[in-house]
């Protein structure tokens, strides 16, 4: 279950409200392009800017839109335990395939506190849980021993998303937790290396803009076509860099707007892309042939 490219969708807004039509269209596009799963209300989905009701609505909407064609990974984590429990229980009732639960941010808990937090969540639901280790955002790291302890003590903690540039840490997680424990890359430039180490897939913001290519990266490695996968890894590198010229998901939303798929609107404390960054991003998109052809300039004429 949950192997491959799990596309962590942006949450499209229009005039301050969730743009449901655009959200459903993005899901349809992801499925048509071969994404193996859909992630909602994760980091790229601006969960901290959403109310709890809005997060529940997004999860339910995604499950309905996916219609069982691909699994939905619901972002349910929060710094607040009761909110996390509420969202995770809701994800279970709504029919999500699993919940992605981030380490509590800002408070900087110790490892015992992290263990108890995740144990409470796992014990409260009958739903697969994927831990989310993203120290650059949360200021706390799930250490290898803590992940292994949770994997051993909680049957429904099935994996971890490692948004962690430390490949030694990732190797030790895989070694301690076993090959059945699902490890996903949350770092775009480490998707291929983590697949090579035996990872279950990736949850890459780049899938918002190039879903077919990001999904194909997994498909190639699963087929043992490593040379082709390596070339695709390097082909994706400029886009991976461009989408992090400013804080995710601001560039991804701007890119989708340039492609005509959603607005670039973000909620505070994010701000619109700076003009100089927008120009650079547009240049990268053009290099990949992702910008719409202006009317009257269709190819094939002379």
Q: Annotated active-site positions, please? A: 132, 161
- Which residue in 76, 95, 98, 96 sits closest to 87, CA to CA? 76
Dist CA 21 CA 1 (whole Å):
28
Show the CA angle centred on residue 259, arms to residues 253 and 263, nearest 5°.
40
| Helix/strand/coil for 94 | helix
Contacts of 124 (CB under 8 A, 6+ apart): 85, 88, 89
Query: What is the bridge-based pairing of β-strands 129-133 and 157-162?
Result: parallel
Handedness of CA 245, 30, 18, 82 (dihedral sign): negative
Using only the alpha carbons of the chain, give its radius of gyration: 19
Whether 281 and 245 have beta carbons less than 8 Å apart is answered as yes
């Amino acid at each position: 279950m949950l192997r491959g490219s799990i596309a962590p969708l942006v949450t499209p807004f229009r005039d301050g409200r969730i743009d449901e039509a655009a959200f459903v269209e993005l899901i349809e596009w992801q499925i048509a392009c071969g994404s193996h799963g859909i992630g909602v209300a994760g980091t790229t989905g601006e969960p901290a800017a959403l109310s709890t009701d809005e997060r529940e609505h997004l999860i339910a909407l995604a499950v309905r839109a996916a219609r069982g064609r691909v699994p939905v990974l619901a972002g349910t984590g929060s710094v607040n335990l009761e909110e996390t429990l509420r969202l995770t229980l809701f994800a279970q009732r709504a029919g999500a395939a699993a919940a992605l639960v981030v380490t509590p941010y800002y408070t900087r808990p110790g490892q015992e506190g992290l263990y108890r937090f995740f144990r409470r969540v796992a014990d409260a639901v009958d739903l697969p849980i994927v831990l989310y280790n993203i120290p650059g955002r949360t200021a706390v790291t799930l250490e290898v021993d803590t992940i292994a302890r949770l994997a051993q003590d909680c049957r429904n903690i099935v994996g971890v998303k490692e948004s962690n540039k430390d490949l030694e840490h990732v190797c030790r997680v895989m070694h301690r937790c076993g090959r059945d424990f699902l490890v996903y890359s949350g770092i775009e430039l480490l998707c291929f290396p983590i697949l090579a180490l035996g990872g279950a897939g990736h949850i890459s913001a780049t899938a918002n803009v190039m879903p077919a290519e990001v999904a194909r990266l997994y498909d190639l490695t699963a087929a043992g076509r490593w040379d082709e996968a390596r070339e695709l890894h390097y082909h994706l590198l400029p886009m991976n860099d461009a989408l992090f010229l400013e804080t995710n998901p601001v560039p991804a939303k701007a890119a989708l707007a340039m492609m005509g798929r959603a607005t670039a609107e973000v909620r505070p404390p994010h701000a619109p892309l700076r003009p100089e960054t927008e120009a650079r991003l547009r240049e990268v998109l053009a290099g990949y042939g992702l910008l719409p052809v202006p009317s009257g300039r269709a190819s094939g004429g002379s």
